[in-house]
Structure 1
Amino acid sequence: MLKVENLTKMFGGLAAVNNISVEFEANKINAIIGPNGAGKSTFFNLISGAHKPTSGRILIDGTDVSTMRCDNIARLGVGRTFQTTTLFEQATVLDNLIVGHRLRTKSGLWDVLINSRRLRREEKESRDKAAEVLDFVGLSHLGNHFIADITQEQRKRVAFALALATDPKLLLLDEPAAGVNPDETEGLAELMNKMIRHGLTVCLIEHKMDMIMGMADKIMVLDHGEKIAEGTPAEIKSNPVVIEAYLGSDHDAAA
């Protein structure tokens, strides 16, 4: 699903991502972990097209997307959430989600001016997709609520739904469980497993190690922009380089 070859991103003289090569399989949960400032979000920004690499290649299902615009990468099937969940506070949950499926519509200004049949059809498709993904994330009962009135955990689910509304194959989830309690974290982990059961591929950045170790099929560890390890949760937990750089001796003893 995702293949990265010798990926490097320089900001001036700083290598935020330095010569990373990795492959993530389709229909799996792939995690990226590491200390703050390790290059994790920059890695996601490169995959989604927000940054262009200094060198190296990014392939999605065999297609080189290294120089593609964000919107074209999204149309290829890459959806994304962000560390900070930013939504339209004074709009309803459903209205927030309708925006996501607009990526797949073709209506333009002329369609709006004449209220074309295509515009009406695509508006219905976008509303139906919004209702579908809202049901998927378990929030059908909140469709007419304003974003300002829902909880942090519900906002996380709405962010998932917004990414799903773009009809992705690969979901990039940036700290999806940040700011929620352990019970809510478990619920979000189950939602990610549900995505896998429905044929999607998940790649996430997360600091909650108990969740990652319990659900990830593969983990890549970054430190100072470099890949220092990759493997299964069992391999990562027992890797002395990872323990020293990130997990710490307490985690090693608990494992």
Structure 2
Amino acid sequence: MLEIEHLTRRFGGLVAVDDVSTVIEQGRINAIIGPNGAGKTTFFNLINGTFAPTSGRIRFRGQEIGGLRVDEIARLGIARTFQTTTLFNHASVLDNLIVGHRLRTQSTLWDVLAHTARLRNDERICREKARDALDFVGLSPIANRLAGDISQEERKRVAFALALSTEPSLVLLDEPAGGLNPEETEGLSELIRKFVQHGLTVCLVEHKMNMIMKLADKIMVLNYGKKIAEGAPAAIRVNPAVIDAYLGSEHAEV
């Protein structure tokens, strides 16, 4: 689904992503791990258009996307969540999600000023998509609650729902389980599996190794911006370079 070839991003003298090549496999859970500062979030930022590559290629379903704007990449079908879930706290959960489907609508400023039939139809569709996304992530009962009043775990699910409302085929999840307890982490893992069961492809960055080892089909390991290993969880767990750079010996024995 997504092909990365010799991807590099420099910030002055710092090489944040250094000649990385990989493939995000369709219909699977792909994971990226590594120490803090390894380049994981920068890698995501290059895929979703926050940064343009210094060099290298990013192809999504055969189309070159390196250097496209964030909104252009989102329209192609790549959604992204962030480490910190930022919502409009004084708006309802449902209203926070309505914005997600806006990139699929056709209304213009004139439609807004004239309150046209097209605008009204777009608003209806956006609300329907928001409700569908809330139902998918299990949050329909809190649709009308203020976003500022919901729990951290519910905020994570709202972020998943917001990504879903853009109608993606690939979802990038940046530390989705951060700040969650083990029970909440397991619930989020089940939701990620549900994504794939419904035809989506997932790529996630995460530091919770027990979660990743149980969840991922394939893992890529970054260190100082370079790819040092890639493969199935069983192989990554015992890879000497990965143990030395990140996991530590205790994970090789799990």
Q: Equivalent residues in 2 for 1:6-25 (5 A)? A: 6-25=6-25
Q: Distance in 2 between matches of 1:193 and 1:250?
A: 27
**What does 1:27-46 align with in structure 2 at a 5 Å threshold?**
27-46=27-46
- Residue 166 of structure 1: how far off its partner (Å): 0.3
**Alpha-carbon offset, residue 108 of structure 1:** 1.0
Alpha-carbon shift at residue 137 of structure 1 (Å): 0.1
Rounded to whole Å, the distance in 1 between the matches of 2:89 and 2:67 is: 33
1:146 lines up with 2:146 in the alignment: yes
Q: CA deviation at 1:115?
A: 1.0
Counterpart residue identity of residue 170, structure 1: L
Question: Is structure 2 residue 225 aligned with structure 1 residue 225?
Answer: yes
Superposed displacement of residue 251, structure 1: 1.5
State the alpha-carbon separation in 2 of the partners of residues 89 and 156 from structure 1. 14
CA distance in 1, matches of 2:220, 2:113: 50
- Counterpart of 2:109 in structure 1: which amino acid? L
- What runs of 5+ residues in structure 1 fail to find an aligned partner? none
Alignment match, 1:127: 127
Equivalent pairs counted in the alignment come to 254
Q: How high is the TM-score relative to the length of structure 1?
A: 0.99
Confirm or deny: 8 A CA contact 2:30 2:219 kept in the other structure.
yes
Deviations 1:9-39 (A, max 9, x none): 0000110000000001101000000000000
Describe how 1:163-202 pairs up with structure 2 within 5 A. Answer: 163-202=163-202
**SS state of the match for residue 248, structure 2?**
helix
State how far apart, in whole Å, the 1-side matches of 2:35 and 2:133 are.
33
In structure 2, C-alpha distance between the alignment counterparts of 1:235 and 1:12, rounded to whole Å: 35
Q: Distance in 2 between matches of 1:230 and 1:44?
A: 17
| Equivalent residue letter for 1:130 | A
Identity of aligned residues (%): 65
Summarize deviations over 1:20-77 as a string: whole Å, max 9, x none: 0000110100000000000000000000000000000001111100121110000000
> 1:77-88 maps to which residues of 2 (within 5 A)?
77-88=77-88
Range that drifts further, 149-158 or 108-117:
108-117
Rounded Cα–Cα distance in structure 2 between residues aligned with 1:102 and 1:217: 32
Aligned to 2:94: 94
Q: Hey, what's the Cα distance between the residues in 1 that align with 2:71 and 2:112? A: 21
Corresponding residue number in structure 1 for 2:58: 58
Amino acid in the other structure paired with 1:238: V
Q: Distance in 2 between matches of 1:100 and 1:112?
A: 18
Distance 1:124 1:183 in 2: 36
In structure 1, the residue matched to 2:235 is 235
State the partner residue of 1:109. Answer: 109
Q: Output one character per residue of 1:157-211: Cα deviation in whole Å (capped at 9) or x when no partner.
A: 0000001000000000000000000000000000000000000000000000001
In 2, distance between residues paired with 1:62 and 1:31?
21
Counterpart residue number, 1:71? 71
CA RMSD of aligned residues (A): 0.5
Q: CA deviation at 1:136?
A: 0.1
The letter of the residue matching 2:39 is: G
Distance in 2 (CA, whole Å) between partners of 1:51 and 1:134 is 30
| SS of 1:191 mapped into structure 2 | helix
Report the Cα distance in structure 1 between the residues aligned to 2:178 and 2:61, rounded to whole angstroms: 29
Partner of 2:203: 203
Give TM-score, length-normalised by structure 2.
0.99
CA distance in 2, matches of 1:172, 1:2: 12
Counterpart CA distance in 2 for 1:67 and 1:83 is 23
2:117, 2:42 → 1: CA distance?
42
